């Protein structure tokens, strides 16, 4: 057997044959210059339009994060600057396929240099480039082919468009040579409950038909697994299925409540939770409504969407996050000046400085939806940095008629002054992905910086613990809706710090519920203390894991 290693996403394990994605097209060196440049430019423009139409169709058929990113990618394929620059080169005598590569390359360099969300969009722009080139060359679009049998999809990377067309009845798991724990592929695999290993660099040697065992919990891919490895994967699947049968509320072994909630992006996602053992929604990413739109969504349209979500959840909790967009997630209907560092610019709540009507309309829509349905929404603002901003948002939300108002803790400044912030709001929710990014000064989309963004980084744990302590002192809820919430060991530490709710992809709920149920509150506090006493992230996880019940370590392959 040969074992490849990477970064695992999820807890599952599967065995199956490899299905490799179609490769990125290679432009032949001997392509002739078009005899009719104008006709070639028209053909190129049509190729861009066809790719945009295909992506829009896939976006319409998708939900949540997939819908969001596919809509944004479709907009790229139709972007006049990109199409215009490429067709201008062709009219000047360039080969169409090369013109696409040159122009897209210039934009990709700009996006990569910008960092943050824009760097992530570079991958999507590369996907647009490759799809257009494939059409021009008469080749299949790069990505996952139609699967004839249940398979493990292996690729250098998968774009959102690739993941949108996965036949989930036939995809056993995903192995990616690049990416990181917070890449699109990893996030989507987690949402779908598919075992996934990213940054498996040696996976380039895997071929169609190779049998592999993918162990997401351990971050391994075993080639030609023996009977023992196959049996272990089957046992893991059976154990996780058994854990999913527990539908009780989140709590420790001695009954201390810890709400278990889901992260969603659309009203359709909320409807899918009807039969899921979850106590509500801890994060509704409302920007899905905005990112693919050419004009700001109308009050009536927003109200309808939010009302559907409230109705689907019934009496269960639902927390709406107001628009998280801006310079780093461009909106077609908001003019923003170019920023050298969009991740630190006019984004999320800060849009109130330049486009206050967006926030006020959204708050009015949520309030109207609550009145229509009788629901009781919670609302929170992202990227709040100061006590003044927290107070301003709370005043605006309450003026709109919303009863429960909070803010996200994503910036260290708010974690450090959490007590002052909680004097103005009813709750806070910690977004550990961004909190780690800003604490460690490391772009969370760069896989090569994964060690800095480890969820066990002591400095980040200190900020989380301080925020939780401020919540306990104020008698107000403090939740976590970042990646940390889905980790069964970290969930214990968070409960021990005083976190009151954990919000995650629905696929992670069973493991976290079982982990909590197997430990008393006192045990959780001991785990939290051991982790915080460590000097490094690996030491913190090891110290916490040493105190986890053996049966939990075995069942979840911790």
Is there a single domain that holds both residue 214 and residue 337?
no
| pLDDT at res. 116 | 56
| pLDDT at res. 359 | 96
At residue 326 the predicted structure's pLDDT band, cuts being 50, 70 and 90, is: low
pLDDT at 245 over 90: no
Is there a single domain that holds both residue 393 and residue 435?
yes
Q: Is 519 marked active-site?
A: no
Is there a single domain that holds both residue 382 and residue 270?
yes
- Specify if 482 maps to a domain: yes
pLDDT at 481 over 70: yes
Cα 104 to the center of its chain, rounded Å: 25
Nearest to 552 by CA among 529, 527, 525: 527
Lowest mean pLDDT among 336-345, 437-446, 489-498: 336-345
| pLDDT at res. 158 | 82
User: Domain containing 335 — which CATH number?
Assistant: 3.20.20.60
Which of 90, 120, 137 is a domain's end point? Answer: 137
pLDDT at 336 over 80: no
Q: Distance between CA 50 and CA 131 in Å, rounded?
A: 10
- Specify if 555 maps to a domain: no
User: What mean pLDDT is predicted for residues 200-211?
Assistant: 91
Alpha helices in 272-340 (DSSP H): 288-291, 299-313
Which of 116, 137, 158 is a domain's end point? Answer: 137
User: What mean pLDDT is predicted for residues 380-398?
Assistant: 98
At residue 489 the predicted structure's pLDDT band, cuts being 50, 70 and 90, is: very high
| pLDDT at res. 362 | 97
At residue 519 the predicted structure's pLDDT band, cuts being 50, 70 and 90, is: very high
Q: Distance between CA 405 and CA 424 in Å, rounded?
A: 9
Lowest mean pLDDT among 27-31, 261-265, 341-345: 341-345
Q: Do 178 and 162 contact (CB within 8 A), yes or no?
A: no
DSSP strand pairing (404-409 vs 378-381): parallel
Lowest mean pLDDT among 22-26, 348-352, 392-396, 405-409: 22-26
Lowest mean pLDDT among 9-13, 179-183, 311-315, 436-440: 179-183
As a three-state string, the secondary structure of 148-166 is: CCCEEEEECCCCHHHHHCC
Lowest mean pLDDT among 79-88, 206-215, 287-296: 287-296
Q: What percent of the chain has pLDDT over 70?
A: 95
The CA-atom distances, in angstroms, between 32 and each of 37, 92, 93, 102 are: 11, 14, 10, 17
Q: State the pTM of this model.
A: 0.76
Give one DSSP letter per residue of 329-391, joined into a string: B--TTS-----S-GGGSSBGGGGGGT-HHHHHHHHHHHHHHHHHHT---EEEESS--SHHHHH
DSSP state at residue 498 = T
Q: What is the count of structural domains for the chain?
A: 3
At residue 328 the predicted structure's pLDDT band, cuts being 50, 70 and 90, is: low
Q: Distance between CA 260 and CA 254 in Å, rounded?
A: 16
Is there a single domain that holds both residue 62 and residue 118?
yes
Query: Torsion over CA of 418, 421, 422 and 425, rounded to 10 degrees?
Result: -140
- Specify if 267 maps to a domain: yes
* Catalytic, out of 184, 196, 424, 524: 184
Is there a single domain that holds both residue 399 and residue 292?
yes
Residues 114-132 as b/e (b if ≥16 CB within 10 A, e otherwise) read: bbbbbbbbbbbbbbbbbbb
- Specify if 285 maps to a domain: yes
* Catalytic, out of 56, 196, 424, 481: 481
pLDDT at 164 over 80: no
Structural domain of 46: 37-137
| pLDDT at res. 287 | 87
Which of 80, 115, 137 is a domain's end point? Answer: 137
- Specify if 245 maps to a domain: no
Is there a single domain that holds both residue 353 and residue 494?
yes
At residue 88 the predicted structure's pLDDT band, cuts being 50, 70 and 90, is: very high
Is there a single domain that holds both residue 171 and residue 271?
no
Nearest to 282 by CA among 514, 532, 512: 512
DSSP strand pairing (196-198 vs 7-9): antiparallel
At residue 524 the predicted structure's pLDDT band, cuts being 50, 70 and 90, is: very high
Lowest mean pLDDT among 448-452, 491-495, 532-536, 553-557: 448-452
At residue 420 the predicted structure's pLDDT band, cuts being 50, 70 and 90, is: very high
For 501, the 3-state DSSP assignment is strand
- Specify if 439 maps to a domain: yes
Lowest mean pLDDT among 62-66, 410-414, 456-460: 62-66
User: Domain containing 211 — which CATH number?
Assistant: 3.50.30.10
pLDDT at 117 over 60: no
Q: Is 360 marked active-site?
A: no
50-78 confidence digits (pLDDT tens)? 999 988 887 887 776 667 777 888 888 99
pLDDT at 306 over 90: yes
Q: Distance between CA 98 and CA 33 in Å, rounded?
A: 10
Q: Distance between CA 521 and CA 163 in Å, rounded?
A: 40
User: What mean pLDDT is predicted for residues 163-170?
Assistant: 78
pLDDT at 272 over 80: yes
At residue 514 the predicted structure's pLDDT band, cuts being 50, 70 and 90, is: very high
Is there a single domain that holds both residue 343 and residue 258?
yes
Is there a single domain that holds both residue 126 and residue 259?
no
- Specify if 524 maps to a domain: no
275-296 confidence digits (pLDDT tens)? 889 999 999 999 888 876 778 8
User: Domain containing 130 — which CATH number?
Assistant: 1.10.274
> Which positions ≥6 away from 490 have C-beta within 8 Å?
455, 456, 484, 544
Cα 486 to the center of its chain, rounded Å: 12
Is there a single domain that holds both residue 159 and residue 292?
no
Is there a single domain that holds both residue 407 and residue 374?
yes
- Specify if 235 maps to a domain: no
Is there a single domain that holds both residue 104 and residue 221?
no
| pLDDT at res. 15 | 97
């Amino acid at each position: 057997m040969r074992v490849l290693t990477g970064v695992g996403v999820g807890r599952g394990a599967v065995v199956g044959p490899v299905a490799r994605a179609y490769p990125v097209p290679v432009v032949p060196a001997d392509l002739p210059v078009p005899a009719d440049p104008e006709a070639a430019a028209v053909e190129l423009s049509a190729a861009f339009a066809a790719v945009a139409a295909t992506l829009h169709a896939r976006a319409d058929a998708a939900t949540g994060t997939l819908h969001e990113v596919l809509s944004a990618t479709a907009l790229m394929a139709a972007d006049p600057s990109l199409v215009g620059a490429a067709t201008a080169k062709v009219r000047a005598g360039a080969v169409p396929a090369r013109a696409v590569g040159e122009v897209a390359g210039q934009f990709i360099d700009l996006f990569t240099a910008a960092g943050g969300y824009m760097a992530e969009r570079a991958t999507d722009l590369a996907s647009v480039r490759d799809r257009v080139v494939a059409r021009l060359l008469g080749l299949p679009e790069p990505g996952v082919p139609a699967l004839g049998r249940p398979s493990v999809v292996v690729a250098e990377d998968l774009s959102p468009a690739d993941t949108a067309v996965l036949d989930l009845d036939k995809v056993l798991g995903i192995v990616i040579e690049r990416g990181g724990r917070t890449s699109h592929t990893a996030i989507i695999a987690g949402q779908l409950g598919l075992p996934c290993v990213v940054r498996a660099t040696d996976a380039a040697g895997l071929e169609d038909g190779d049998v592999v065992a993918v162990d997401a919990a351990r971050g391994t891919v075993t080639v030609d697994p023996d009977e023992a490895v196959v049996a272990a994967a089957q046992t893991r699947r059976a154990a996780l299925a058994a854990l999913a049968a527990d539908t009780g509320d989140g709590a420790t072994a001695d009954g201390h409540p810890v709400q278990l909630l889901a992260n969603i992006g659309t009203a359709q996602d909320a409807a899918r939770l009807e039969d899921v053992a979850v106590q509500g929604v801890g994060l509704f990413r409302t920007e899905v409504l905005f990112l693919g739109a050419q004009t700001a969504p109308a009050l009536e349209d927003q109200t309808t969407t939010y009302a559907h979500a409230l109705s689907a959840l019934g009496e269960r909790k639902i927390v709406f996050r107001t628009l998280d967009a801006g310079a780093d997630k461009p909106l077609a209907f908001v003019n923003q000046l170019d920023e050298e560092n969009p991740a630190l610019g006019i984004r999320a709540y800060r849009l109130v400085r330049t486009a206050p009507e967006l926030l006020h309309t959204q708050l009015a829509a949520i309030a109207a939806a609550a009145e229509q349905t009788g629901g009781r929404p919670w609302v929170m603002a992202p990227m709040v940095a100061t006590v003044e901003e927290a107070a301003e948002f709370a005043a605006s939300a309450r003026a709109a008629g919303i009863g429960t108002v909070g803010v996200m803790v994503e910036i260290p400044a708010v974690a450090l002054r959490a007590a002052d912030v909680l004097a103005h709001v009813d709750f806070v929710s910690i977004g550990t992905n961004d909190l780690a990014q800003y604490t460690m000064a490391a772009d969370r989309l760069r896989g090569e910086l994964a060690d800095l963004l480890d969820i066990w980084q002591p400095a980040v744990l200190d900020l989380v613990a301080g925020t939780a302590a401020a919540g306990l002192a104020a008698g107000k809820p403090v939740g976590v809706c970042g990646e940390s919430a889905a980790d069964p060991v970290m969930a214990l530490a968070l409960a021990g710090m005083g976190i009151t709710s954990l919000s995650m992809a629905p696929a992670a709920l069973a493991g976290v519920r079982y982990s909590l149920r197997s430990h008393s509150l006192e045990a959780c506090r001991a785990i939290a203390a051991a982790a915080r006493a460590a000097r490094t992230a690996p030491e913190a996880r090891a110290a916490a894991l040493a105190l986890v019940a053996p049966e939990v370590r075995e069942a979840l392959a911790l």
